[in-house]
Structure formats: C-alpha cells, structure tokens
Structure 1
Amino acid sequence: MAALALLATVYAVFLPAAWARTELRGAEPAEATFHAGTCILGRCSVTFPFHGEEVTAGLPLGTRARGHAEGDTVEVRHAPGEPGRVALAEDTGRGTVAALLAVPGGATLVTLSAAAAYVRRDRRTEDPADPANPA
C-alpha cells in the first residue's frame, strides 16, 4: 500500500511538471536574471521585465540549473499574460519532458515488479503439493 501511495505522489509531482514545460514550449521569450537556489526542488527563481515592471517568478519543480549562478542572464519562456508561469527556455525541450515522464514510468515498472515478486513468493509458501512431504 505504501508503494502505491509513493507511486501516486510521483505521478502528482512529475506529470504537472512535464505538462507545464510542454505548455510553455512556444510561449513568450524573455531575458531574465537567474536567482540561485535548489532548482531541482523548485526553489530558484528569475526576474524579468514584463510590461515595464520587474517580475520575479519561481521556476518549476525539476528545473535543471545547468551551471547557472546567481545573477546570470538566462532565456525564459512565460505564458502570455501570466508572467508567474515561467520556465527556462532550455528546459522546455522534448528531452526534458521525456526525462520528467520517464520517472513515473520507471517507478510504475519497479512497483509492478515488486508486486509480482511479492505475489509469487506468497504462492510458493502456500503450495500444499510438496513432493518431499506427502500428507
């Protein structure tokens, strides 16, 4: 049961992250200032001009900083009219989305393999037809 809860959590985190990047693939480009943090956990941000104002927006969970440091200029894509929905332009490619979708896929295979091994083990211990010990 714990494995299913963990699997559900993996899907709840990685599918929206992949979807957000897919939606922003052709969105408005902008030059932004990178603010460091733990990007993989969604704790880094960028500041960029939007309609004459400076907007600071958090980058999505799973962002790979790729060696960017505090203050670097990076290219981002933001949703039209929604500057809070932003991703690094280099993070909106098909490879990134595929990698984000591979995590839940791999987690599903591991969970199914573990469940099959558990069921197979239980069947062996319940097998009454033991030729070494006739009833």
Structure 2
Amino acid sequence: MARDVDDLSRVKGPSVYDHAAATGKPSPRVGIVVSMVMALLLGALSLLVMFPAADHLRSLRDGERAQATLVHSGSCMIGHCQVEFMADGRAVVATLPVGSSGGKSSDGARWVVRYRADDPETAVREADLGGGGAIALAWTAGGLALMFVVTSVYVGFYLARRRRKSPAPHCH
C-alpha cells in the first residue's frame, strides 16, 4: 500500500527530494528543520537567558555604590569576571552576573559597582545598569531567531509551490 502511494506521488516526475536522494545530498526539508531548530534555540537564548539577565542588571539601580577592582578578568558576558570591593567594612569578592560588559578589561581595572546591601556578593558594574551587553545580545538573538523562522517559512512555501508547478510527464 505504501509503495502504491509512493508510485502515485511520482506520476508528475522526479521531485527536488528525489534529486537530493540521488545525489546523496540532504533533502531540502533538512534545511528547514535545521533553520527552525536554530530559531528555537536563539529565541530561547533571548527570552529565557538574556532578557532576564538584563532585568537582573537593571534591578540593582538602587543598590549601594562602591569602588571595585577587577580581580579575575575573562568573559564577563557569560559571568566569568570577579570584582573585589569593600562593603560594611569587609572585603567582598563578587562574580559579575551573566550579561555584564567589560570583558576586555584586564585584572586591576577600577570600576564602580552597585551591590545589594543584604547580599554584597550580588553586584553589577554601574555601567551595566541599563542592561549591559545582555540587552544587545537579547535583541540580536531575537532578530536572528525571527530571520530563521521567516527563511524556513519562505523556503517551505517555495518548495511546496515548486512541487505543485512541476510539469506532468508526457505519456507515449
């Protein structure tokens, strides 16, 4: 039965899928699926990671202010920078949150930070109180996700239309 349906679908001649199978290349459907997966991943990065990170950076606008020294530089965007500052008379080392900017600075750089009075280890660079690099990355990832969705839909419609418009073979 499945073979009969398959034979009937080929009455119009070989399709783009048959050509892909014959040449050993992946079907155009694979591209659509990969594009949709990329859209999903980028959308999740934007909505579930970067926008909340930007909100966290903004949440410390009313925090206590202190002069800090960068003691461990690295990729601040992914939360690998540490600063040291004085809070309530004691030295505190705080890891900057995901979405922080300033990753090109080297150890010993001086920054102004804001921290929570009840939890000084929660600190943010004062320069990042507007959302830092997190907000830029959130919008970029969201835009790329939208681009992947639009591309997938366009290619899907294009392939469906091309398949419908295939000329019928001549019978002799």
- Counterparts of 2:157 and 2:99, CA distance in 1: 36
* TM-score using structure 2 length: 0.65
The equivalences for 1:94-113 within 5 A come to 98-113=135-150
Counterpart amino acid of residue 106 in structure 1: G
- Counterparts of 2:141 and 2:47, CA distance in 1: 6
- Counterparts of 2:41 and 2:104, CA distance in 1: 34
- Counterparts of 1:26 and 1:111, CA distance in 2: 39
- Counterparts of 1:69 and 1:95, CA distance in 2: 18
Structure 1 gap segments, 5+ residues each:
none
- Counterparts of 1:51 and 1:16, CA distance in 2: 29
Q: Say which is worse superposed, 84-93 or 96-105, in terms of deviation.
A: 96-105
Q: Say which is worse superposed, 1-10 or 20-29, in terms of deviation.
A: 1-10
1:39 aligns with 2:76: yes
The equivalences for 1:13-92 within 5 A come to 13-35=49-71, 36-65=73-102, 67-92=104-129
- Counterparts of 1:12 and 1:93, CA distance in 2: 18
- Counterparts of 2:131 and 2:101, CA distance in 1: 14
Q: CA RMSD in A?
A: 2.5
More strand by share: 1
Structure 2 gap segments, 5+ residues each:
1-35
- Give SS of 2:61's match: coil
More helix by share: 2
Between Structure 1 and Structure 2, whose CA radius of gyration is higher?
Answer: 2
- Counterparts of 2:68 and 2:57, CA distance in 1: 17
1:2 aligns with 2:37: yes
* 1:12 alignment counterpart: 48
Alpha carbons of structure 1 residues 100 and 24: separation in structure 2 relative to 1, 3 Å: farther
Alpha carbons of structure 1 residues 96 and 42: separation in structure 2 relative to 1, 3 Å: closer
The answer to whether the 8 Å contact 2:54/2:99 transfers is: no
* TM-score using structure 1 length: 0.80
